[in-house]
Chains A and B, each alone.
Chain A
Amino acid sequence: MSITLAQVIVSGLLLGAVYALFSSGLTLIWGMMNVVNFAHGDFVMLGMYSAVVIWTALGGGPFAAVPVAAIMIATLGILSYFLLVRHIMRGPMLAQILGTFGLALFLRYSAFWYFGADFKTLPDTLVGGSFVLAGIRFEGSRVLAGAVGLGITLLLHVILTRTAVGSRMLAVSEDATAAQLMGIRPQRMQALAWAMAGAATGIAGALIANFFYTSPTVGETLAILAFVTVSFGGFGSVLGALVAGLIIGVVESLSAYLVGPVYKDVIVYVLFVLVLWFRPQGLMGKA
């Protein structure tokens, strides 16, 4: 295998880990409450702006930006839940879709108004530039994002499957009324799900900002990928999003390199359709 091909695969894996990172919040919300958060991409966008603001105003790197973005977007998640989602959940499915879609537009155009249409980028020295290992180049910022992506996804998976809080959250998602009879407060659990999803999304944004451009519409570009990753992996499955993210990242990189960049989306989406054909619930979703 040539060095270039190895580089393509490594780049694809790192990209895929990042896809998994910014998709985990979306899949969590779906798994917990059957709500698709169409504002997810814009949550990521605001996480990215948190990192930009912390750098430009305070000169802080990712170690300052990540916790701040996590808290900011978790707060945004809780607010969204109490002010919007809690109410529209009582309405028909269409109201839920349009409600979070409206939230997406509100956040996007607020960012336009406040930050302007300019593209911002962070200096690549923040995460220590790049290094070469066995002839393959690694970008510090992407390695950090990929590693944290893996870590967060596994952490969320453990919380949901191995802890008491996770069991309570799952109980609420299975049957909120029954859970309430068992002494669990559904609203508290759902708000917690939004907070956790927000924190994961904020962290994703703050890390992606280190190697991507930040602009008010960046959420659009990223949201499509998040939706594909989540439905590929199975709505509600955090591990599924991780596996799907890695597959999409590698397939995208390999097809762009071997076949041509204009075909990569075709190849990824054909694969996506094939998966849904044979497993409509996604790779690891519940049937």
Chain B
Amino acid sequence: MLGLGKGASAQPAPVKVGVIYPLSGNSASAGNYSKMAIEVGADVVNNGNADLAKIIPLAKGGGLPGLGGAKIQLIFADNQGTPAAGQNQALRLISEEKVAALIGAYQSGITLTASAIAERHGIPFLTAESVAANLTERGFKWFFRVTPVAIDFARAYSTFLKEQKAAGQKVGSIALVHENTEYGNSVGSVIADQFAKDSLPITQKIAYSANSSDVQPQVLQLKEKNPDVVIFISYTSDAILYAKTMKELNWKPSIMIADNAGFNDPAFLKAMAPTVEGLVNRSAYSGGKPGSVPAIFNDLYKAKAGVELDDVSVRGLEGFLVLADAINRAGSTDPAKIQAALKATNLPAEQMAAGYDGVKFDDKGQNVLASSVVTQLQGGKYVTIFPKERATAKVILPYKGW
């Protein structure tokens, strides 16, 4: 392993991992929380954590044993919330920083462009949280996705609503409100397809731009049709405007579902939690008993970020851990070897920081063991309400709001 003429004590060169997130722009708060989560992950791999080392082999400290103890060096890049900037940053990280692999980029539309650059240069690109369906349908060889995807959420929402219907809730009319980039459009259409199969009637569809400065007309459209259920697919700034405007115009459905993203951002919760009590959401984070991997990571993260791990940050962290494991098994920074190691990934459920059943990629690069739970905001905190075997609280309906 030692280079010629170097002393035995020489520290191997660090492995550079490029991390692309929205560190400015309208999703900057989510991006910065994910950045901190990944920093916690890198710190555990580089410097170790005694409690985690009992469960996760890479948490012993001392970097990556497969590469002679090389440390991981994170190189962050700001996608500024635009696909063009994401693409430029991917190119810069690959050609100038010579990163071994890339992770990112939060917004599906940006992951789409940034990963295309990685594909062209033959560098592994792992997304921890972008859920648009088409990302894994492009026949890419260097693209891997750890997060559960739209069809998983759509099934979860559908089963949840059918269960509520059986319990006597009205679900006769459902409105779907989605922002109109890759994320909102694709998740929206997957939900619409699944609901059509399950004969849950979507009676109103509203597409809007996430950068809107005003959402009053949309809320008035909802108010007029007055659906039983509303499903929002939104980023942070628009989520805040919807929550505020629904209160201003005094309208609420009896079940309000928000597909993660904006409604899950700690910044949204800090600002708006008392206005959206009873909101139903999905999550990859469902806490854990003291001493479990999620609980230990949550403590480490809380000390750094000042807030608890949530769905988005835990998925970022999990994505990083998957990549670190693969680089370690590759035993090299050669992209082709990392790609092969990612393909061979097989991580068990007990090593998961996120609430997945494990990590194992199919031919398209999708993690087939990813899963998510349905949560509800109760007393300002998200608790798991579905499926039953993982629920920590009972569902409370109708939606209370403010």
Contacts and interface: CB of A to CB of B under 8 A. Distances in A.
Contacts of B31: 117
Contacts of B88: none
A257 interface: yes
Contacts of B223: 4
A217 B212 contact: no
Interface in B37-85: none
Nearest to A4: B224
A131 to B, nearest CB: 11
B220 A7 contact: yes
Interface in A250-278: 252-254, 256-257, 260-262, 264-265
A15 B214 contact: yes
B213 to A, nearest CB: 5
Given A4-B224, A118-B267, A120-B271, A257 B217 contact: yes
Contacts of B224: 4
B28 A216 contact: yes
Given A112-B24, A117-B267, A120-B271, A256 B218 contact: yes
Contacts of A120: 271
B288 interface: no
A262 B216 contact: no
B216 A15 contact: yes
Contact of A213 (B23, B25, B240, B249): B240
B389 interface: no
Contacts of B270: 118-119
Contacts of B332: none
A124 B29 contact: no
Contacts of A252: 214
Contacts of A121: 240, 244, 271-272
A265 B209 contact: yes
Nearest to B266: A118
B216 A253 contact: yes
A173 interface: no
Given A119-B236, A257-B221, A139 B213 contact: no
Given A7-B220, A262-B180, A222 B237 contact: no
A231 B35 CA distance: 40
A148 B306 CA distance: 38
A261 B250 CA distance: 20
A262 B28 contact: no
A217 B26 contact: yes
Contact of B26 (A8, A139, A221): A221
Contacts of B396: none
B213 A222 contact: yes
Interface residues of B, number: 41
A130 B213 contact: no
B162 interface: no
A261 B268 CA distance: 22
Interface string B211-239: 11111111011011000000000001100
A123 to B, nearest CB: 9
- The residue in A124, A261, A265 that gathers the most chain B C-beta atoms within 10 A of its C-beta is A261
Nearest to B218: A261
A215 interface: yes
Interface in A173-213: 211-213
B96 interface: no
Given A119-B268, A124-B244, A217-B28, A261 B208 contact: yes
Nearest to A19: B213
Nearest to B26: A217
Nearest to A139: B248
A215 B29 contact: yes
Contacts of A117: 23-24, 28-29, 31-32, 267
B213 A221 contact: yes
A272 to B, nearest CB: 15
- The residue in A119, A211, A220, A265 that gathers the most chain B C-beta atoms within 10 A of its C-beta is A119
Contacts of A261: 206-209, 212, 215, 217-218
B349 to A, nearest CB: 33
A172 to B, nearest CB: 34
A221 B211 contact: yes
B400 interface: no
Nearest to B208: A261
A237 interface: no
A215 B248 contact: no
Interface string B263-281: 0011110111000000000
A213 B237 contact: yes
A121 B26 CA distance: 15
Interface in B248-305: 248-250, 265-268, 270-272
Contacts of A211: 244, 248
A154 interface: no
Contacts of A264: 217
Given A117-B31, A118-B271, A256-B208, 15 more contacts: A4-B224, A11-B220, A15-B214, A117-B32, A117-B267, A119-B268, A119-B270, A121-B271, A130-B248, A213-B241, A217-B26, A221-B237, A252-B214, A257-B220, A265-B209
Which are the 8 A-B pairs with shortest beta-carbon distances? A256-B217, A261-B208, A117-B28, A257-B217, A121-B271, A118-B267, A117-B29, A11-B216
15 contacts: A7-B249, A15-B214, A117-B28, A117-B31, A121-B244, A121-B272, A211-B248, A212-B213, A213-B244, A221-B213, A221-B237, A256-B208, A260-B206, A262-B207, A264-B217
